[in-house]
Structure 1
Amino acid sequence: MSLTYLMDMDGVLISEEKLIPGADAFVTELQDNDVPFTVLTNNSIRTPRDLRARLLSTGLDIAEENIWTSALATAQFLSTQRPNGTAYVVGESGLTTALHDIGYVLTDVNPDYVVLGETRTYSFEAITTAIRLVERGARFIATNPDATGPSSLGPLPATGAVAALISRATGRDPYYVGKPNPLMMRSALRRMGGHSESTLMIGDRMDTDIVSGLEAGLRTVLVLSGISTAESVEAYPYRPTRVIRSVADLVGHTSDPFGTD
């Protein structure tokens, strides 16, 4: 059975809109050898088309069908739970487009779900509406639990931070679909026809990428080009299969990243 790859985007392929050295050679090697791969991101703001354009601007040519977001995973989850349902959404085009594409109606009148995603324009009015709808019985879903996101000026509040505000006001916690929930990994695997025993997860965070990969039954590689450091690995009760500096270390070894041949 041939090897397939799942990989995080920020911290693995790019960092603050710049290419991580060697990422282009790594992706090209996968493409040239017809190795199936999917790029994952917990960020629900952008559609795959938008993300493709973002990656192209750094020099990475990755097709839309090779990109899987927490918004897409959330939409797929909801389509299996309550087909053609209704939702009140706090989020941006990546999330609203994904829900429209599965036949959901977006409304603030008795929705089946309140769905919280990431946005750079959280409004007090929208959060208040979400709180009132959850109190009235709408089921609470969030795309991912990340409390902060990166920016050139420092951390920004992200989905998990706003979810905590709604939870504190309502006493109800959301169901998080994105990493570290292994559900996101499994949905990406099904989409590309991969199998856990022959798929490698590459990530830069021990608390999301690596743990969700482990819980989905995948071998894992931690790159030190993003959030986690070699020192921080020791604080966790689990370990990745391999730790490398960046995906540049895998160039020339994508068919056998662990040197088992």
Structure 2
Amino acid sequence: MSNETPWNFLMDMDGVLVREEHLVPGADAFVAELRDNGIGFMVLTNNSIYTPRDLQARLKRTGLEIPEASIWTSALATARFLDEQRPGGSAYVVGESGLTTALHNIGYVLTDRDPDYVVLGETRTYSFEAITRAIRLVENGARFIATNPDEKGPSREGSLPATGAVAALIERVTGRAPYYVGKPNPLMMRSALRTLGAHSESTLMIGDRMDTDVRSGLEAGLQTILVLSGISDRDTAELFPYRPTKVMNSVADLVGITHDPFGTTAAAENA
């Protein structure tokens, strides 16, 4: 990869740019370098609770200036998928504004009467009544979609059940497994690439998790960077049967080399 064909960047949000509402040191300089040099990038998250505008405001509070159009969520990826599968359809949604807004924006009708789909996302308050309704709709033939397979999320008090855990409950009752759109499904990578207008051969994925970020990047044909500022460490990375292209401490290590993150130009010049 030469300077004439610059890299584009897909990157996870939590553990890569921010960590529990705090900026990862150097992430602001990294993002500023991307923006100042006109390098294409998208920030990805499996969290379907928030709209891109909500997330933009959250990131701004940490000191990161990220355009709303550069944020791609599992809710947006799910809406894109459903729009391609069944345009103008209907859905019963268990989730919050990030998901309902995304579905409204593609012209979906949200209903609990004979919907085409049951769409499960994250919410702070899973309702037993809503889950029961979802179960009965799936039993009656609604197709079952979940925004992501993450089983738990963090809170100050400890772990919280997330989409994957509630999806497992519905699957256990109905015998119907959901289709998961978010990471590690490479579908989310590909939809982000199309939105960015980038090609997999000139794009790399930065993440802090081997099982979602690195795997989805790998399966979508992207080069991958594992950063150690989040969940995975070097020992964790060795447990998996696949490897990232490169391991770095954080995105701060990319400052100054975003045009050539793997040193290919220098290697070619020294050959």
Tell me which residue corresponds to 1:48: 52
State the Cα deviation string for residues 155-183 of structure 1 (Å, max 9, x = none). Answer: 21110000000000000100000000000
1:133 to 122, 132, 137: 137
Looking at structure 2, the residues matched to 24 and 199 of structure 1 have their Cα atoms a distance apart, in angstroms, of 20
1:153: how far off? Answer: 2.7
Looking at structure 2, the residues matched to 24 and 152 of structure 1 have their Cα atoms a distance apart, in angstroms, of 25
SS at match of 1:144: coil
1:151: how far off? Answer: 2.1
Tell me which residue corresponds to 1:66: 70
Tell me which residue corresponds to 2:27: 23
SS at match of 2:38: coil
Looking at structure 1, the residues matched to 13 and 159 of structure 2 have their Cα atoms a distance apart, in angstroms, of 17
Matched, 1:145 2:176: no
Tell me which residue corresponds to 1:176: 180
Tell me which residue corresponds to 2:268: none
Unpaired runs of 5+ residues, structure 2, are 266-271
Matched, 1:36 2:61: no
1:15: how far off? Answer: 0.6
State the Cα deviation string for residues 232-251 of structure 1 (Å, max 9, x = none). Answer: 11110000000011001111
Looking at structure 2, the residues matched to 78 and 71 of structure 1 have their Cα atoms a distance apart, in angstroms, of 11
TM-score by length of 2: 0.96
Superposed CA RMSD: 0.6
State the Cα deviation string for residues 34-65 of structure 1 (Å, max 9, x = none). Answer: 00000000000000000000000000010100
1:259: how far off? Answer: 1.1
Matched, 1:81 2:119: no
Matched, 1:124 2:128: yes
Unpaired runs of 5+ residues, structure 1, are none
Q: 1:1-261 to 2 correspondence within 5 Å?
A: 1-261=5-265
Range that drifts further, 175-184 or 143-152 = 143-152
Query: Contact 1:167/1:173 (CA < 8 Å) preserved in 2?
Result: yes
Give 1:67's aligned amino acid: I
State the Cα deviation string for residues 170-228 of structure 1 (Å, max 9, x = none). Answer: 00100000000000000000011100000010000000000000000000000011111
Query: Contact 1:16/1:151 (CA < 8 Å) preserved in 2?
Result: no
1:16: how far off? Answer: 0.6
Query: Contact 1:117/1:142 (CA < 8 Å) preserved in 2?
Result: yes
Looking at structure 2, the residues matched to 244 and 155 of structure 1 have their Cα atoms a distance apart, in angstroms, of 27
